[in-house]
Structure 1
Amino acid sequence: MKITRSSIATAKGPTDWFTGDVYIDAIAAAPAPSRLRANLVHFMPGARTHWHRHPLSQTVFVTEGIGRCQRRGGPIETIHPGDRVLFEANEEHWHGAAPDRLMVHIAINEADDDHPVVHWLDPVTDEEYTAG
């Protein structure tokens, strides 16, 4: 057993990954051979990720607020607390808060020496975000 006391400061989401105000708290980054990575991500109203994909898939679990998500070419979906969203391996997608509500989720990913956690792509435009 290992207890890690809270010592990592909340990080502001970088502008080359996110549109709007996003804050990230690390939850898990287990050492090899584990591939698990998890973060608690707070999206302020209207904030969202850029388009991106995960070589080993991603699950997000909504804990608070109202959010939106979309896979490339699909409809925009509204997500609520308790909803789990699985983005398949290499599926291009985005996720974030609704325009007038914050959204918090736990992002669960895998990574190893051959598979990075994420490949960041282009920003989600305002037109794409409001198309739903």
Structure 2
Amino acid sequence: MKHLALLFVLLPLSIYAQNSGYSVKSTLSEGMKAPNTHHIGEAWLNFLVEAGGDFNYNITQATFSANSTLDWHKHATPQVVIILEGEGYYQERGKEPIILRKGDVIKCEKDVEHWHTSSAGSEVSYIAVYGSEPTMWTEKLTREYYDGVAQKLKQ
């Protein structure tokens, strides 16, 4: 009887919560497969929030299969990358590459050339927060360069 009374109290609240007029995106998912324009390997993009109005940032979930590359690029605003799952590589021009793992957060300042993607042995899924201006792709990241980074970070 106690459980039945609790059900009558919670059921209307849950219905109200779901119909409250908020725009809620309920789950993270792979999203759509990205064309191989600025990367080698498989990648999926899930555009969680697109810039507009008073909010000038995009929030995108990206998932890369293991052993994928992403080209060198930069943004007109700072970018924050939050690793959700897996392991990836990150490098800014002129600095050593590093490994990023689940829970890691890195901020790249505006106009800093960099790349980030999965590691050789693990897929990676991350949230990227970046400004509304288009990404500036600067240089192709070659398979040879990526393989060298993978070998160096493996040691």
TM-score normalised per structure 2: 0.74
The answer (yes or no) to whether the contact 1:50–1:123 under 8 Å persists in 2 is yes
What amino acid is aligned across from residue 123 of structure 1 in structure 2? K
Which stretches in structure 1 are left out of the alignment for 5+ residues? none
Q: Match of 2:107, SS?
A: strand
Within 5 Å, which residues of 2 pair with 1:19-98? 19-98=40-119
Q: Which has the higher helix share?
A: 2
What amino acid is aligned across from residue 3 of structure 1 in structure 2? S
Q: Match of 1:24, SS?
A: strand
How many residue pairs end up in the alignment? 126
Aligned-residue offset at 1:117: 3.6
Q: Which residue of structure 1 lines up, in the alignment, with residue 22 of structure 2?
A: 2
For 2:135 and 2:107, the matched residues in 1 are separated by 14
Aligned-residue offset at 1:26: 1.0
Q: Percent identity?
A: 24
Aligned-residue offset at 1:4: 4.9
Higher relative contact order (CA 8 A, sep 6+): 1
The answer (yes or no) to whether the contact 2:72–2:114 under 8 Å persists in 1 is yes
For 2:61 and 2:145, the matched residues in 1 are separated by 25
1:101 pairs with 106, 112, 122, which one?
122
Q: Which residue of structure 1 lines up, in the alignment, with residue 33 of structure 2?
A: 12
Larger radius of gyration: 2
The answer (yes or no) to whether the contact 2:45–2:61 under 8 Å persists in 1 is yes
Aligned-residue offset at 1:5: 5.3
Q: Which has the higher strand share?
A: 1
